[in-house]
Structure 1
Amino acid sequence: MEYLLTFSETEFDGGSYERWCPNEIVDFWSIPYEERVIIQAPLGLSFGDMGKIYFFICKKCDSKKVKTIFQCS
């Protein structure tokens, strides 16, 4: 199976915000919580606590071509 894509409820987390937070936001943690949530999770998705769904595809399989793995922090 090959990795296809990931659905994540947030754009970045506390460990990766320096790499993924927009450059215009200098000090993300000083922004009020309500504004941070809009920046961090603009789609408003919820997959548990910082959850992710990984999708894999098998190009050779006749059935069950897609597999998903759910991960919740």
Structure 2
Amino acid sequence: MKTRFLIAAVSLAAVLPLLAGCYESRDVTLHDAGVYKGKTDPLVEMSADPAYQERLRERLLMVQTDR
């Protein structure tokens, strides 16, 4: 009788973590199409600078000339 209880307890202890790993949150996040609500991107402001555009173009030409 004790061995059956022990086997059942060990089996339950092994199965519970496995079932807990299958948990999936049911929270739903709704997004508006075309609207970015994250942090502001500093590269957007930098990309407006013509000097930055020229540096990017030079970098592209340095590595993409063989293609």
TM range (shorter): under 0.3
Using CA pairs under 8 Å that are at least 6 residues apart, name the structure with larger relative contact order, 1 or 2: 1
**Structure index of larger Rg:** 2
TM-score by length of 1: 0.22
More strand per residue: 1 or 2? 1
